[in-house]
Chains A and B, each alone.
Chain A
Amino acid sequence: MRRVYQILGALLLSAYALAEGTGWELPTNAKRGVVPASARTAAGFRSFTLWNGGK
């Protein structure tokens, strides 16, 4: 059991170091998407119909 705990602890620290190094965060309400190339304009970015916003 001690060995298992040590291995789990090492994995946890590795995940922690990776998260800190890459800026990984716990999942939040942030959404992700891609703006089509054709809409990559100021007007497209500003358009209400294109976005649901951050809501």
Chain B
Amino acid sequence: MSSRAAACPSCGGEVLFSAGSSLVAVCPRCRAAVSRKGVRLESLGKVAELVPTSSPFRVGMSGRPKQGLKPFRIVGRLQLSTGQGTWDEWHVSFEDGRYGWLAEEQGRFWVMRPLPVPANPPPPEFSQLSPSMRLNFGSYGWFTVVERRQALYASAEGEIPFVATPGAVFMYADLSGADGSLATLDYGDDPGVDDFFVGQRVELADLGIDDLAGWTERKVSARATSLNCPSCGGGLQLKDPNATVRVACVYCGSVLATPQEGAAADKFEVLVRMQGIPFRPLLPLGTSGTLQGHPYVILGALQKVCVVEGTTYFWREYLLKETATEAYHWLVESNGHWSLVAPVPPGQVSTAPRLAVYKGTRYRHFQATRAAVEAVLGEFYWEVAQGEETDVSDYVAPPRILSEERYENEVSWSEGTYVPKEELEAGFKLPKKLPEPQGIGSNQPWPHAGTGRAWRDTAFLLAGIATLLFVFFNIRAARKVVFQGRFDTVPSASAQPYPWSTGTGTSPSPTPAPQENVVLTDPFEIPQTANLEARIDAPTDNTWVFVACDLIDETTGEVRSWGLQSDYYHGVDGGESWSEGTRSRTTYISHVPAGRYVLRLEPETEPGKAPAYYDIRLRSGVPRTSRFVLVLLFIFAGPLALLISRGRFEARRWAESDYAGGSSGSDDD
């Protein structure tokens, strides 16, 4: 349809339909909603006065977006209400004749475009929807139901692209896309879908609306920034007057509601009268500070409670407003552990049993409980009430935590990051130190995470070098047999002393009575300085032989002495055979220099049961696997100690979860 001016059928005033998509226009003089069908105009009834909101937009503003959107003009405003809150949606007409909606929520902005209702498969009926339900809309992608509600058309101004009867109730469902998009299923007043909108989030600055220059200093004339508590008279300074709908007096604890339409701006209604504050917040409300590079003001505090197996647990949630973007975040404190929490699009969270995944990070289910608001203090942008209950599920991937909160018709997800209390003390310049953390927080990072990773990486590097050295020395090892021989354990009758030639020029001394079984070998060469492996083998059978060995360096006279024993026992006892001992044993002698040596052997054995003989073998330059293993043990001792420490830390963490006594994990990076 083309644009045209027409006379209001109620008062005769001029009603302008400037956008071709406009079907209804609100008469600026009498506020009648005028619909057009072709050339025919019809009054749909009077539209209620608009409720002042903190929206930066006004009908008539124009925008020239930097990219992705055509230039547009704001031609209308629809004010919607669920009975618990009111919000604006702005009808925009694009330069190419198409239309869309500009929506806002807690400082975030969306441009919604109408698309054909999904047909393959079609969306479920309204009554079949439930929060967290995942819907496949074919080429549009997957969406998660975030909210399903009924609302009414509370008020309007300018032009609207559909026939919206003032005060009419309609059903809708908001969905969150896997790519962070937002979608709305508009059911109107019947179970089937009437319209489907999909939108992307935009930054206010990217909309290119020139008239927003004064937005940061805007004042909504109907709201006051300071008031006296109607219950105790205490002076209250509101830090977020444009969005606050509930105030809990920081002096008496009374819960106040913002003025109703028509009431004076500072006349807050007392909803709950209290005689004293229900708890003392650790962070002073109204304080401004900086956290992780972002400026915040602390607006309010909630004390929440849950009961698990008969035990009551408390924690506090502090509402923050990021002053640069006007986004709302939370600081959650439990037993002295703090986390900075921000909402995330539910469509980007996927879940499986005991698992949630967000942006590629896997979070393990920690606990699920029913939480209730026990007490409130400060300012809130929604109609918070004591006793308000939600079902909460926490998933952890320390230092992060992912939380799902389910209300009756709504689900929300938020992600938190552990914040050391020192960071809060510094960021908000707190006059007093915060209490020390007690126990292990659900998403508290293991304090040695950085050290653990560094040691692990170093350990693997050292082990790799040790392995290379082991391989090198194994390849290089001589393993040379420098001596081997077989000797009688009991000497024969004709045994003679071994001949001896010293080669040193010394005269032989007189020979004393020879020991019968002592052996003196011929000299032999050890070609290199290395260790020496000495081995004995003997056919011992329920007996033993011990050989005292002395390795004598011919040149220096240096002696190295050791013993080798072969013993083996076996039998049958009660029908079962047994054995013990070993016929072969090996020992290693350290650092034997190259040279010429003689080996002296003196056996001892059990009289009458001696084995017939024993074999002795000497090898030089034998690599030792045990040394390599010992080196690896030392290398990994440090990381192993840290691993044990981490295991104990995680066990303490999970002892507080729904899986106490069962699960412990490696959640830290």
From B192-200, B371-379, B546-554, B654-662, the one touching the partner chain is: B546-554
Q: Select which of B532, B552, B554, B631 is within 8 A of A12 by beta carbon.
A: B631
Binary flags per residue of A14-30, CB closer than 8 Å to B gives 1, else 0? 00110111111111111
Distance in angstroms between the alpha carbons of A36 and B600 in the assembled complex: 16
Distance in angstroms between the alpha carbons of A21 and B624 in the assembled complex: 11
Find out whether the CB atom of B462 lies under 8 angstroms from the CB atom of A13.
Answer: yes
Distance in angstroms between the alpha carbons of A47 and B562 in the assembled complex: 17
Chain A residues 7 to 55 lying within 8 A of chain B, measured CB to CB, are 9-10, 12-13, 16-17, 19-48, 51-55
Chain B residues 511 to 537 lying within 8 A of chain A, measured CB to CB, are 511-512, 514-515, 518, 520, 529-532
Find out whether the CB atom of A16 lies under 8 angstroms from the CB atom of B561.
Answer: no
Tell me the count of chain A residues lying within 8 A, CB to CB, of chain B.
Answer: 45
Distance in angstroms between the alpha carbons of A52 and B602 in the assembled complex: 10
Total A-B Cβ pairs within 8 A? 165
Find out whether the CB atom of B465 lies under 8 angstroms from the CB atom of A40.
Answer: no
Distance in angstroms between the alpha carbons of A55 and B498 in the assembled complex: 23
- Closest residue to B598 on the A side, CB-wise? A45
Shortest C-beta distance, B503 to chain A (Å), equals: 11
**Which residues of chain A are near B428, meaning CB under 8 Å?**
none
Q: Select which of A2, A22, A43, A45 is within 8 A of B552 by beta carbon.
A: A45
- Closest residue to A1 on the B side, CB-wise? B451
Shortest C-beta distance, A7 to chain B (Å), equals: 10
**Which residues of chain A are near B624, meaning CB under 8 Å?**
20, 25
From B104-112, B286-294, B582-590, the one touching the partner chain is: B582-590
Distance in angstroms between the alpha carbons of A54 and B559 in the assembled complex: 10
Find out whether the CB atom of B455 lies under 8 angstroms from the CB atom of A16.
Answer: no
**Which residues of chain A are near B602, meaning CB under 8 Å?**
51, 53-54
Chain B residues 586 to 600 lying within 8 A of chain A, measured CB to CB, are 587-592, 598, 600
Binary flags per residue of B564-598, CB closer than 8 Å to A gives 1, else 0? 10000000000000000000000111111000001
**Which residues of chain A are near B499, meaning CB under 8 Å?**
42
- Closest residue to A16 on the B side, CB-wise? B631
- Known contacts: A9-B635, A12-B634. The answer to whether A43 contacts B559 by CB under 8 A is no
Find out whether the CB atom of B550 lies under 8 angstroms from the CB atom of A53.
Answer: yes
Find out whether the CB atom of A30 lies under 8 angstroms from the CB atom of B598.
Answer: no
Q: Indicate the member of A6, A9, A27, A32 with the most B CB atoms within 10 Å.
A: A9
Q: Select which of A24, A30, A36 is within 8 A of B561 by beta carbon.
A: A30
- Known contacts: A37-B506, A54-B549, A55-B548. The answer to whether A45 contacts B561 by CB under 8 A is no
Any A CB within 8 A of the CB of B508: yes
Binary flags per residue of B455-487, CB closer than 8 Å to A gives 1, else 0? 100110010011001100100000000000000
Interface residues on B, range: 35 or more
- Closest residue to B453 on the A side, CB-wise? A2
Shortest C-beta distance, B69 to chain A (Å), equals: 51
Find out whether the CB atom of B529 lies under 8 angstroms from the CB atom of A30.
Answer: no
- Known contacts: A42-B508, A42-B520, A54-B548. The answer to whether A30 contacts B589 by CB under 8 A is yes
Any A CB within 8 A of the CB of B500: yes
Distance in angstroms between the alpha carbons of A40 and B512 in the assembled complex: 14
Any A CB within 8 A of the CB of B241: no
Find out whether the CB atom of B561 lies under 8 angstroms from the CB atom of A54.
Answer: yes
Find out whether the CB atom of B455 lies under 8 angstroms from the CB atom of A2.
Answer: yes
- Known contacts: A25-B590, A42-B497, A42-B500. The answer to whether A35 contacts B559 by CB under 8 A is yes
Distance in angstroms between the alpha carbons of A24 and B623 in the assembled complex: 11
- Closest residue to A4 on the B side, CB-wise? B638
- Closest residue to A6 on the B side, CB-wise? B458
**Which residues of chain A are near B600, meaning CB under 8 Å?**
45-46, 51
Shortest C-beta distance, A20 to chain B (Å), equals: 4
Any A CB within 8 A of the CB of B558: yes
Q: Select which of A2, A24, A34 is within 8 A of B590 by beta carbon.
A: A24
- Known contacts: A16-B631, A51-B600. The answer to whether A21 contacts B590 by CB under 8 A is no
Q: Indicate the member of A21, A36, A42 with the most B CB atoms within 10 Å.
A: A42
Find out whether the CB atom of A5 lies under 8 angstroms from the CB atom of B458.
Answer: yes
Shortest C-beta distance, A9 to chain B (Å), equals: 4
Find out whether the CB atom of A40 lies under 8 angstroms from the CB atom of B500.
Answer: no
Shortest C-beta distance, B189 to chain A (Å), equals: 67
- Known contacts: A2-B458, A9-B635, A13-B465. The answer to whether A23 contacts B529 by CB under 8 A is yes
Shortest C-beta distance, A6 to chain B (Å), equals: 5
- Known contacts: A5-B458, A12-B631, A16-B466. The answer to whether A28 contacts B587 by CB under 8 A is yes
Q: Indicate the member of B510, B558, B590 with the most A CB atoms within 10 Å.
A: B590
**Which residues of chain A are near B562, meaning CB under 8 Å?**
28-31, 54
- Closest residue to A25 on the B side, CB-wise? B590
Find out whether the CB atom of A33 lies under 8 angstroms from the CB atom of B451.
Answer: no
Distance in angstroms between the alpha carbons of A8 and B315 in the assembled complex: 46
A-B contact pairs, 24 of them (CB 8 A): A5-B455, A9-B635, A12-B634, A13-B465, A16-B466, A20-B469, A25-B588, A25-B589, A25-B591, A30-B561, A31-B559, A32-B561, A35-B559, A40-B504, A40-B554, A41-B506, A43-B511, A43-B512, A45-B552, A45-B600, A46-B498, A46-B514, A48-B518, A54-B550
Given contacts A45-B550, A51-B602, 18 further A-B contacts (CB under 8 A): A1-B451, A5-B458, A6-B458, A10-B462, A12-B635, A13-B469, A16-B628, A20-B627, A23-B591, A25-B588, A28-B562, A35-B557, A35-B558, A35-B559, A42-B502, A43-B497, A46-B497, A46-B515
Partner-A contacts on B (CB < 8 A): 451, 454-455, 458-459, 462, 465-466, 469-470, 473, 497-500, 502, 504, 506, 508-512, 514-515, 518, 520, 529-532, 546-550, 552, 554, 556-564, 587-592, 598, 600, 602, 621, 623-624, 627-628, 631, 634-635, 638
Q: Which 6 interchain pairs have the tightest Cβ spacing?
A: A42-B500, A53-B548, A23-B531, A54-B548, A25-B590, A23-B530
